[in-house]
Amino acid sequence: MLTRIDHIGIACFDLDKTVEFYRATYGFEVFHSEVNEEQGVREAMLKINGTSDGGASYLQLLEPTREDSAVGKWLAKNGEGVHHIAFGTADVDGDAEAIRGKGVRVLYDEPRTGSMGSRITFLHPKDCHGVLTELVTSAPDAQAEH
């Protein structure tokens, strides 16, 4: 069951400038940053609020590390903006299977590693009214940080 908006994924050309925009404009600070080579992104997570399921909601700022990554290609076509939205669940495997059974294309056979050691998968935007949609189960220790 999806129990929160986990994050909004925003693609940008320059991560440092975009982090600085969010800090200077709104006072949002970087909670965590990492490079995910499999996804081909450098990213910064800005924690915005805690959520009623014991998790949190973040902005995830994404800069591609290579032009041929999914985010790199998206950015070349669309320019900066909202790349995807993500819902948090305690059971990404079970939810992905259930959603696949409803005829929505799930992009990975098995969940992969996302931000902060989470396990993630994506749903095809053409099956989701144009919205690239991620499902996330946080790592146990990441949940404890909240």
List, by residue number, the catalytic residues.
7, 43, 60, 84, 134
Encoded amino acid at 33, one letter: S
Residue closer to a second copy (CB basis): 113 or 126: 126
Q: Are 134 and 87 in contact (CB under 8 A)?
A: yes
- 119 contributes a contact to a second copy by CB under 8 A: no
Measured distance CA(70)–CA(64) in Å, rounded: 8
Options 16, 23, 26, 35; binder of a second copy; rule CB under 8 A = 26
DSSP code, position 106: B
Measured distance CA(139)–CA(52) in Å, rounded: 17
Q: Which residues lie near a second copy (CB under 8 A)?
A: 1-5, 8, 10, 12, 18, 21, 24-28, 48-53, 57, 59, 79-82, 85, 87, 99, 102, 104, 125, 128-131
